[in-house]
Amino acid sequence: MLIKDDNTAIERRKFKRYPLIYYLDSIDLETKQCIGQLIDISLEGAMLISKIPVPSGIKVKLSIVLPTGFSDENYLVVEAESVRNCRDINSDYYDTGLHFINVDPLTKKAIIGLIDTYGF
């Protein structure tokens, strides 16, 4: 995420975001509804594209549906907070920046695997 400070762009992310070759369905575990698809990921967060905006400041527990054959698990569970929301370049969609909360070592390992296998 870039911010302006004295006309200088500053990168606030610690980890590079990696676009994914597959959009990964993301299900809100509270509502059991698919809220969108992850389109990129890093160890600290992800970008969600969706038809319905996710307001900033909302915390969600997501079940991210993993590609077939990626692992023995069919999904990855993460807690995240939406930190920004804006219209996608395709105005039918919204982009939501997510910041992961309390990521355990096994989840970090799975995210690294996703990046290594499906990121570019």
Contacts of 17 (CB under 8 A, 6+ apart): 40, 41, 42, 45, 46, 47
pLDDT of amino acid 17: 87
10-56 pLDDT, tens digit per residue, is 455 567 889 999 999 999 999 999 999 999 999 999 999 999 999 99
Domains identified in the chain and CATH numbers? 11-118 (2.40.10.220)
pLDDT of amino acid 13: 53
- Is 2 a residue whose pLDDT tops 70? no
93-105 as b/e, with b when 16 or more CB fall inside 10 Å? bbbbbbbbeebee
What is the percent of the chain where pLDDT is above 90?
A: 82
**In angstroms, rounded to a whole number, what is the distance separating the alpha carbons of residues 36 and 18?**
17
pLDDT of amino acid 3: 38
The token duo for 101 is 């909360």
- Whether this prediction's pTM lies above 0.75 is answered by yes
Cβ-count burial of 58 within 10 angstroms (0-12 exposed, 13-18 middle, 19+ buried)?
Answer: middle
